[in-house]
Structure 1
Amino acid sequence: MPLALLALAIGAFGIGTTEFVIMGLLPEVGADFGVSIPTAGFLVTGYALGVVLGAPLMTVLGTRVSRKRMLMLLMGLFIVGNVLSAVAPVFGVMLAGRVVASLAHGAFFGIGSVVAAGLVAPEKKAGAIAMMFTGLTVANVIGVPLGTYIGQSIGWRATFFIVAGLGVVGLLGVAKLIPEQAGPEDVRLRHELAAFRNVQVLLAMAMTVLGFGGVFAAITYIKPMMTDVAGYSDGAVTWLLVLFGLGMVAGNLIGGKFADRALMPLLYVSLSALALTLALFTLTAHHQVAAAVTVFLIGGLGFATVPPLQKRVLDQASGAPTLASAVNIGAFNLGNALAAWLGGLVIGAGFGYTAPNWVGAVLAGSALLLAVLSSTLERRATASATDDAVGSRIVAGSPAQPAATVSGAKRRVQSPGKSAVR
């Protein structure tokens, strides 16, 4: 794999750390600013909304900028947002810093996916995309627990200064290692927007929302599920999330490897297995060992869908993939928000802390149905195109057999006697 992918992975590591580390620091941040934990939770919500809105916005603003330069600008924005969060004198300023940092998230992964795919041969694109996303998955194993520990031991501001430092390393890596990649000269915003008229692009994005949403329906409420149902201590939840992160790393690497060989079959297997695992989590959540294994599997199966779905969007939006790729990253966060909301509804309705697992199973199952629909439509389109091509050749007098052979055949049919004499 090209060394340039390391620069993308470092940037992804920093982005993944800043996205999730705040969840473990909400009590400290809330106490420092004198706000309640629910109010401090707006730092999570604001970031997610910033990703959804920032992905298309930043990509559109960067349509006339080279991809390498845009990645550098996005890392600069990420650094500014985290420094602003670290020095914030009041809660509102920190919230603004979180939103600024989030604006870089979707566009970085969207443009980074296009750049990563362009660094390797066509048959290795999904693997290259997975390599970049490895930074995000490893952040959940190393960056988030370490950042949480530092924030609780030294102070949460130190965590955000360190994350900003990671952004500086990522910026230098992009500047030094990533080559200039000139996009198609005739691609402008209207070409990028045209990708959204492709039903396959829209179906892939819907699969992203529903499939990864299934994961977050369960993981959003992992703490009360594991403490109140499985019987784990509060401290054990951190290590369960590390286990979830390890599953993400494994799933991402497996997804990247097999998506280049059999993309749609991989989606069938991973989405169906994810739906089944989430449904079973309603039972395994009552047993500590089984619950831990299930948490790992949810992380693995969920992230096994990421490289193939991102590659699916790139393939279907070929020629103008940048905006579609970035919007698909926003779709992951939209799925997270939707699933967390639905999971909260079923808990609030009195169905218990394991009820979000059923929500997740339904979401993942719905994504599987969309995958089948997408593949069916694609096969029909291919068959129709083949029939049209054959029909065109026949009309033009160029069927599968050479014209001379066809003419000879007609003469033999018209004069069987002469053929017999000869």
Structure 2
Amino acid sequence: MTELLETTSSSAAQPHSARRGWLGIGIVTAGTFTVVTSEMLPVGLLTPMRDDLRISEGTAGSALTVTGLVAAISAAPLTVLLGRFDRRWVLCGLMAVLTLGNLAAALAPNFAVMTAGRVLVGLGMGGVWSLAAGLAVRLVPTKSAGTAMSVVFSGIGVASVLGVPAGTYIGALAGWRAAFFAAAGLGMLVLLAIAVALPALPPTGGVALSGVLRLVRNARMRTGLLIVAFLVTGHFAAYTYVRPVLEQVASASAAQIGSLLLVYGIAGVAGTFLAGTPSVRSPRTTLITVSAVLAAGVLLLPDWAARSSPRGSSSPSGASPTAASR
């Protein structure tokens, strides 16, 4: 957000060819795909991580929590601290930090090292998010800025559809550490692409942290932030532990869980498009609908999983599927 404020506060746009500009958009999109995939990897790998590191499921799930918290806290300060540097090299540095974080997670002998790696992933993710929207505006002509921003943030949906299920499949085939190694390799490829193909993007002006804080003083902004915080917290509280639930209640295999995560990602992308127009016409109704659907999904998941379990379906008459699955 701070980078976007900085970009729009200056009328000086960097002149780049259309082809190179859209190539840059593609690279930044690959960056958002990489950071979201890196963030979400533990979702599909929670059980083998827990067993290998000899920790509880709750502790393993905190590997996802710490990344999100660090990203949220660090995004604005990082933008201010790195504001006087060329954005191309800032992105290179952030992808390097992300890559190191994934390598640390892949090599972690214990949960302390895993946590340190996930902190690095959070720092890289927070920085990339704070820059991505502003870079999209600078890389293409003004008339294409909206499309460019949509493409950049489509990396989120693609990561849900492809990145997280792919990590789950890799974990099933070669172990959970291989999935983090793959994420580190992807981060390095994106870093090289940024260094080679992205044009120079010197800072166009400065935005102080106080500018962001002023936005938070707006009552409507605070309300929106609180609603998003509650929705995201509720979503991740359930999503983080979906693998143990499916394994223990529905007896699902790693491959089946990967397929279910793929279906989940496709549904998420479809929901984004379905909610687009209604959210503009009636944001309150759309938020209520989204909240209700999310709550229903979380409440119904255990019962649906129990009914889908082979053990649950063969339970004696009168016995609950959940009890039979124990």
TM-score (norm 1): 0.57
Query: CA separation of 1:182/1:246 partners in 2, compared to 1, >3 Å: closer, same or farther?
Result: same
The amino acid that maps onto 1:92 is A
Asked whether the 8 Å contact 1:50–1:102 carries over to 2, the reply is: yes
Asked whether the 8 Å contact 1:79–1:165 carries over to 2, the reply is: yes
Q: How many Å separate the matches in 1 of 2:258 and 2:222?
A: 36
2:67 alignment partner, one of 39, 47, 55: 47
Q: Does 1:274 align with 2:294?
A: no
Mapping 1:161-310, distance limit 5 Å: 161-213=181-233, 215-216=235-236, 219-220=239-240, 222=242, 233-235=251-253, 236-252=256-272, 264-265=280-281, 267-268=283-284, 270-278=286-294, 281=297
Hey, what does 1:11 align to over in structure 2? 31
Q: How many Å separate the matches in 2 of 1:126 and 1:207?
A: 25
Asked whether the 8 Å contact 2:279–2:286 carries over to 1, the reply is: no
Hey, what does 2:117 align to over in structure 1? 97
Asked whether the 8 Å contact 1:43–1:98 carries over to 2, the reply is: yes
Q: Does 1:157 align with 2:173?
A: no
Shift of 1:190: 4.1
Shift of 1:166: 0.7
Query: CA separation of 1:156/1:278 partners in 2, compared to 1, >3 Å: closer, same or farther?
Result: closer
Q: How many Å separate the matches in 2 of 1:176 and 1:87?
A: 29
Residue-by-residue CA offset, 1:284-317 (whole Å, 9 max, x unaligned): 76668xx9xxxxxxxxxxxxxxxxxxxxxxxxxx
Query: CA separation of 1:36/1:273 partners in 2, compared to 1, >3 Å: closer, same or farther?
Result: closer
Secondary structure of the structure 2 residue equivalent to 1:72? helix
Asked whether the 8 Å contact 1:127–1:253 carries over to 2, the reply is: no
Asked whether the 8 Å contact 1:71–1:112 carries over to 2, the reply is: no
Q: Does 1:111 align with 2:127?
A: no
Residue-by-residue CA offset, 1:21-69 (whole Å, 9 max, x unaligned): 2122233233333333333333223222222222233223212223332
The amino acid that maps onto 1:265 is R
Query: CA separation of 1:57/1:118 partners in 2, compared to 1, >3 Å: closer, same or farther?
Result: same
Mapping 1:56-95, distance limit 5 Å: 56-95=76-115
Secondary structure of the structure 1 residue equivalent to 2:154? helix
1:32 alignment partner, one of 52, 65, 71: 52
Query: CA separation of 1:269/1:243 partners in 2, compared to 1, >3 Å: closer, same or farther?
Result: farther
The amino acid that maps onto 1:10 is A
Asked whether the 8 Å contact 1:148–1:159 carries over to 2, the reply is: yes
Shift of 1:93: 1.5
Shift of 1:112: 0.6
1:135 alignment partner, one of 141, 155, 170: 155
Q: How much identity, in percent, do the aligned residues show?
A: 33
Gaps of 5+ in 1: 292-352, 354-422
Shift of 1:274: 1.3
Q: How many Å separate the matches in 1 of 2:295 and 2:245?
A: 14
Asked whether the 8 Å contact 2:98–2:121 carries over to 1, the reply is: yes
Shift of 1:72: 1.7
Query: CA separation of 1:53/1:278 partners in 2, compared to 1, >3 Å: closer, same or farther?
Result: closer
Asked whether the 8 Å contact 1:12–1:136 carries over to 2, the reply is: yes
The amino acid that maps onto 1:38 is G
Secondary structure of the structure 1 residue equivalent to 2:83? coil
Hey, what does 1:412 align to over in structure 2? none
Shift of 1:252: 4.2
Q: How many Å separate the matches in 2 of 1:70 and 1:252?
A: 30
Query: CA separation of 1:162/1:78 partners in 2, compared to 1, >3 Å: closer, same or farther?
Result: same
The amino acid that maps onto 2:291 is A
Q: Does 1:22 align with 2:42?
A: yes
Which protein has greater RCO, CA pairs closer than 8 Å, 6+ apart?
Answer: 2
Q: How many Å separate the matches in 2 of 1:167 and 1:58?
A: 19
Asked whether the 8 Å contact 2:94–2:124 carries over to 1, the reply is: yes
Hey, what does 1:298 align to over in structure 2? none
Asked whether the 8 Å contact 2:83–2:203 carries over to 1, the reply is: no
Q: How many Å separate the matches in 2 of 1:186 and 1:282?
A: 43
Q: How many Å separate the matches in 1 of 2:242 and 2:88?
A: 38
Gaps of 5+ in 2: 1-20, 309-321
Asked whether the 8 Å contact 1:26–1:41 carries over to 2, the reply is: yes
Asked whether the 8 Å contact 1:51–1:103 carries over to 2, the reply is: yes
Q: How many Å separate the matches in 1 of 2:164 and 2:60?
A: 18
When the two structures are aligned, how many residues end up with a matched partner?
A: 284
